[in-house]
Structure 1
Amino acid sequence: MLSLRAVNHYYGTHHSLWNVDLELLPGECTCVTGLPGMGKTTLLNCIAGHLPVESGSILWHDAGKPARDLQGVSAEARMALGISYVPEDRRIFSRLTVEENLQLAMMAATGQPQAIPADIFDLFPELYGLRQRRGAELEEESLHQLSLARALVTRPRLLILDEPTRGIGHNMMQTLCAVIVRLNRELGLTVLLVEQRLSFIRHVADRFCLLHRGRNVAQGSVAQLDDKLLAHWMAP
C-alpha cells in the first residue's frame, strides 16, 4: 500500500523527522503514537502531501504496477489516488450544510457532482437528519462525524486520522471505534491514525509506530506495545 524509506523533514533549520521508515500494509490499521511534539502530525502531513519531504521516499503501491514515489505529487493528486486525510481541526466549511460539505468533497475527488452514497448515512445515521444544517450549527460530535463522512465519500483506499479521539465523549468514542473496526476489518480499508489513548489503540490497531523526537524508535504488532515500552518512551 504505502512505504516510507528514510524520510526526513525540516521546519526551517529544525530537523523534525529523522530517517523515518514505515510500512503500511493493505487492510491493516496502523497507529502512530508518542508524546506531544514528537513529529506525529508532521508525519501525517508529509504522507498526505501537505508538507514537503526533504529527503527519502514515500512509495505508493498499486497491484500489478511499479511503485510510485509521491515526492512532488500534490495533496489533491494523492486524494485522487485514494489517500483521504482527516486533520485534527477537521476543517469543516461552517457556512455550508452537511450535504454541501459532503458533495464538495466528492467534487474535489472526482471533478463532477454525484449523489451522496447511502452507506455513508448507514455509518453515521445521525447525519441524515442534519443534512440541511450548516456546519456552524452542529454539535461537536456531529462535526466529528461529518469530518469522517467527508473523508469516506471519496472512497479512499487509505484513511488517515489525526488524533480522532481528542475532545470527544465516551459515546462518540465508542461510535468511532466501531466505525474504524468495521471499515478496517470488515470492508478492508487501510487506516493510519495518530493516537495516544492506549485502550483505543489496542482495540482498533493491528500495528504501531512510536515516534520520539522525530525518530521511529519502535514499531511492530500492537501486542508488543507493552507497559515497559511505554514507560521508557512515553513517561512525561
Structure 2
Amino acid sequence: MLSLRAVNQFYGSQHTLWNVDLDLPQGMCTGVVGLPGMGKTTLINCITGNVPVESGTIIWHEAGAPPRDLLNQASEQRPAPGIGYVPQDRRIFSQLTIEENLHIAMRATGTAASGAKNDVYDLLPQLYTLRQMRANTLSPDDQYQLALANALVTRPRVLIIDEPMHGAGHSIARKLAQLLARLNRELGMTVLLAEPQLSFIRRVADRFCMLYRGRNVAQGHVNELDDELIAHWMSRDARR
C-alpha cells in the first residue's frame, strides 16, 4: 500500500531522519514508537508532505496502477490517492458546525460520494446527535472525534494519526481503539499511528516501527515489542 525507502530529512543543518525504511501492509495498523524527539512526527510529516524530504522514495501502491512516488506530489495532492491525516492539533474549523466541517473536508479532497457522511456517522454516532453544533462548543473528546471524521469522510485507504493520546482521556482512548479495530477488520483500512504510549500501541497495532534519533532501529509484529527491546531503545539512559 505504502512503502518508504531510504528516507532522509533535514531541518536546516540538523539531520533528523536517517535512511528510514518502512512498509505499511494493506489492512493493518502499524504503530511508530519512540521517545519524544526521536522523529515520529517528522516521519508522518514527510509522508503527508508537510516537510520536505532530502532523499529517498515514498511509493504508493494500488492494484491495477503503476507505483507512484508521492514525493513528486504537493501536500495538498496527497489525499487524492487515498491518504487521510489526523494531526495532533486537530485542525478543525472551530466556528463551523460538525456538518459544515465535514462538507469542507469533502470539497477540499473532491469526495463526492453521497453516503460518505452517513458512513462517518455510523462509525462515530455521537457526532450525528451533535451535527448542528459549532466545533468550539464541543468537548475536547468530541473535537477529536470531529478531527477523525474530517479524515474519514474523504474515504481514505490509508489513515495516518499523530499521537492521539496526547492530552486524551480514557473515553477517547477506548473509542479510538474500538474504531481502529473496526476500520482494520471490517473495512480493511490501513492505519499508521505515531504514539509514544506503548500500552495503546500494543492494544491496537499489528506491527510496530521503533525510531531512535531518527533511525528505524527495530520493526516487526507488535508481539516482538518486548521489554528487552524497550529497555534498550526507550530508556533515556540506555544509549548515552
* Normalised TM-score (structure 1): 0.96
Which residue of 1 is the match for residue 40 of structure 2? Answer: 40
On the 8 A contact 1:94/1:136 being kept in 2, the answer is yes
Residue 112 of structure 1 and its aligned partner are, at CA, apart by: 5.9
Task: Spell out, residue by residue over 1:124-174, the C-alpha distance to the aligned partner (whole angstroms, 9 max, x if none).
Answer: 111112111111111101001100011000000000000012211112211
Which residue of 1 is the match for residue 30 of structure 2? Answer: 30
Segments of 5+ residues of structure 2 without an aligned counterpart are none
On the 8 A contact 1:107/1:113 being kept in 2, the answer is no
Residue 76 of structure 1 and its aligned partner are, at CA, apart by: 2.0
On the 8 A contact 1:103/1:113 being kept in 2, the answer is no
Which residue of 2 is the match for residue 141 of structure 1? Answer: 141
Q: Please give the alpha-carbon distance, in whole angstroms, between the structure 1 residues aligned to 2:196 and 2:179.
A: 18
RMSD: 1.3
1:131 match: secondary structure: coil
Distance 1:116 1:56, change over 3 A: closer
Q: Please give the alpha-carbon distance, in whole angstroms, between the structure 1 residues aligned to 2:156 and 2:73.
A: 17
Please tell me the residue identity of whatever aligns with 2:168. Answer: I
Q: Please give the alpha-carbon distance, in whole angstroms, between the structure 2 residues aligned to 1:40 and 1:172.
A: 21
The aligned runs of 1:14-93 (5 Å cut-off) are 14-93=14-93
The aligned runs of 1:84-123 (5 Å cut-off) are 84-110=84-110, 116-123=116-123
On the 8 A contact 1:107/1:114 being kept in 2, the answer is no
Residue 104 of structure 1 and its aligned partner are, at CA, apart by: 0.4
1:3 match: secondary structure: strand
Segments of 5+ residues of structure 1 without an aligned counterpart are none
On the 8 A contact 1:103/1:115 being kept in 2, the answer is no
Residue 116 of structure 1 and its aligned partner are, at CA, apart by: 4.9
User: Which 4+ runs in 1 deviate beyond 6 A?
Assistant: none
1:26 match: secondary structure: coil
State the identity %. Answer: 61
Please tell me the residue identity of whatever aligns with 2:66. Answer: P
Please tell me the residue identity of whatever aligns with 1:48. Answer: T
Distance 1:155 1:113, change over 3 A: closer
Which residue of 2 is the match for residue 196 of structure 1? Answer: 196
Q: Please give the alpha-carbon distance, in whole angstroms, between the structure 1 residues aligned to 2:23 and 2:57.
A: 12
Deviates more, 1:132-141 or 1:63-72: 63-72
Q: Please give the alpha-carbon distance, in whole angstroms, between the structure 1 residues aligned to 2:234 and 2:95.
A: 40
Please tell me the residue identity of whatever aligns with 1:172. Answer: I
On the 8 A contact 1:57/1:71 being kept in 2, the answer is yes
Residue 95 of structure 1 and its aligned partner are, at CA, apart by: 1.0
On the 8 A contact 2:116/2:154 being kept in 1, the answer is no
The aligned runs of 1:225-236 (5 Å cut-off) are 225-236=225-236
1:85 match: secondary structure: strand
Which residue of 1 is the match for residue 183 of structure 2? Answer: 183
Q: How many residues align?
A: 236
Matched, 1:218 2:237: no
Q: Please give the alpha-carbon distance, in whole angstroms, between the structure 2 residues aligned to 1:114 and 1:37.
A: 41
Q: Please give the alpha-carbon distance, in whole angstroms, between the structure 1 residues aligned to 2:79 and 2:203.
A: 27
Please tell me the residue identity of whatever aligns with 1:7. Answer: V
Q: Please give the alpha-carbon distance, in whole angstroms, between the structure 2 residues aligned to 1:218 and 1:144.
A: 30
Q: Please give the alpha-carbon distance, in whole angstroms, between the structure 2 residues aligned to 1:137 and 1:201.
A: 30
1:154 match: secondary structure: coil
Residue 119 of structure 1 and its aligned partner are, at CA, apart by: 2.1
Please tell me the residue identity of whatever aligns with 1:215. Answer: R
Task: Spell out, residue by residue over 1:99-126, the C-alpha distance to the aligned partner (whole angstroms, 9 max, x if none).
Answer: 1111100001117695652121121111
Q: Please give the alpha-carbon distance, in whole angstroms, between the structure 1 residues aligned to 2:220 and 2:204.
A: 15
Please tell me the residue identity of whatever aligns with 2:85. Answer: Y
Q: Please give the alpha-carbon distance, in whole angstroms, between the structure 2 residues aligned to 1:39 and 1:78.
A: 21
